[in-house]
Amino acid sequence: MDTIKNLEEKLGYKFKKRKLLQGALRHSSIRRYAVPFERLEFLGDRVLGLVIAEYVYVNCRGTEGAMAKMQAAFVCAETCYDIAKSIDIDNAIQTAGEHLKENKTVLADAMEAVLGALFIDSNYETVKQAVLRLWRRHFLVYDESLQDPKTRLQELCQKMSGELPAYEVKNITGSDHAPVFTVSVSALGKTAEAIGHSRKDAEIVAARLLLQDLTVGSVDFG
């Protein structure tokens, strides 16, 4: 199947101007496409933030702090990467090297660029419905108690095995002033991996993902 057509089906939307979607799938690692891609990514990041902020406002009964934590969990690079993989962006994207098609930061950025293209070609409501559908699984497994994941994971490990979780920096990419860390955490026979703009951020996300694997919970949105 045509990769563009497949992506449109996963998004639930047929583009009127396919060039917009094609632009979102030409990564900035290919220099001549850098500006168009980065502009779409910029827009998509803001649109996604607004959709998620609205969702959090409607569904979170907590304080502003709790809302901010919930928002961060849904717009982080790890979540965007997961969604990008789920709709096969890795099969459609054009990059300067094949290895970049599996890079988490690249695919997370592409997910935002696709949302930017979708917004321009349609409207806010269309993007909103696409995001609510694609992010649904993450909404369902979100657990407010996981917002202190490293502490909870450590307590769980000490209770079950007496050992501490093991964190490891797997890779550091990006520029000196904007590094991207890939970190793994292993505990109780399982491993999770995450990315972040600091080692601490990546460790927090990795711990949260491992906790979800070990003890899946859900928040009451009633």
Q: What is the pLDDT of residues 138-164, one digit of tens each?
A: 887 776 555 578 888 998 899 899 999
- Do 159 and 96 reside in the same domain of the chain? no
Identify whether residues 151 and 133 lie together within a single domain: no
Decide if 88 is catalytic.
no
Higher pLDDT, 218 or 132: 132
Task: Give residue 192's Cα distance to chain centre.
Answer: 15
Percent of residues, the chain, with pLDDT higher than 70: 94
* pLDDT exceeds cutoff 60 at 31: yes
Note the Cα 4 to chain centre separation in Å: 21
29 with 126, same domain? yes
pLDDT value of residue 141: 74
pTM of the model: 0.67
Say how far apart CA 154 and CA 202 lie, in whole Å.
Answer: 16
Q: What is the pLDDT of residues 50-99, one digit of tens each?
A: 999 999 999 887 789 889 989 999 999 999 999 999 999 999 999 999 89
Catalytic-labelled residue, pool 90, 109, 112, 201: 112
Running DSSP on this structure, what letter comes out for residue 86?
H
Question: Do residues 134 and 45 both lie within one domain?
Answer: yes
* Domain of 152, in residue numbers: 146-214
Does 41 qualify as catalytic in the annotation?
A: no
- The total number of structural domains in the chain stands at 2
Domain-terminating residue out of 142, 161, 195: 142
List 45, 78, 109, 203, catalytic entry: 45
Contact 194, 183 (CB under 8 A): yes
Q: Are residues 39 and 108 in the same domain?
A: yes
